[in-house]
């Protein structure tokens, strides 16, 4: 769990970056889809999250299998390796639905570890 806790803290830092972007630009899908700076900011943090979650223990992932761990690393791979076009509509869903859930799991886990 110790290594998982360190990883989760880093994941939370990148989730916070996404949430700060939403606070700054607004929770507006049209703004997101039309603003390259907003998109790139979020995509950077998604890449980092996708890289970090690969190193979480299989036990942790199993305990939280309702989260799409493979999807997080998959999106990272698509972005980094340019396997296909990034659908910004999908990124919007990820940052407005998946990231808040990831934040909740990370914070709950870290508070229990103290």
What are the sequence ranges of the domains in the chain?
Answer: 2-113
Neighbours of 38 (CB within 10 A): 21
Task: Say if residues 77 and 83 touch (Cβ distance below 8 Å).
Answer: yes
State the average pLDDT over residues 94-109: 95
pLDDT of 113 over the 90 cut = no
95: left (phi over 0), alpha (psi -120 to 50) or beta: alpha
pLDDT band at 15 (very low <50, low <70, confident <90, very high): very high
pLDDT, tens digit (0-9, with 9 covering 90-100), for 57-95: 999 999 999 999 998 998 888 888 876 677 889 899 999
Cα–Cα separations (whole angstroms), residue 36 to 31, 41, 58:
9, 8, 35
Q: Is 112 exposed, middle or buried (0-12, 13-18, 19+ CB in 10 A)?
A: exposed
In the block, which residue shows the tokens 């942790």?
A: 60
């Amino acid at each position: 769990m110790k290594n998982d806790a360190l990883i989760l803290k880093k994941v939370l830092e990148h989730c916070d970056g996404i949430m700060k972007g939403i606070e700054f630009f607004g929770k507006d899908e049209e703004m997101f889809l039309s603003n390259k700076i907003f998109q790139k900011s979020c995509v950077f943090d998604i890449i980092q999250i996708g890289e970090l979650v690969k190193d979480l223990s299989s036990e942790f992932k199993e305990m939280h299998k309702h989260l799409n761990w493979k999807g997080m690393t998959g999106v990272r791979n698509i972005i980094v390796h340019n396997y296909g076009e990034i659908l910004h509509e999908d990124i919007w869903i990820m940052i407005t639905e998946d990231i808040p859930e990831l934040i909740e799991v990370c914070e709950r886990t870290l508070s229990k570890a103290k």
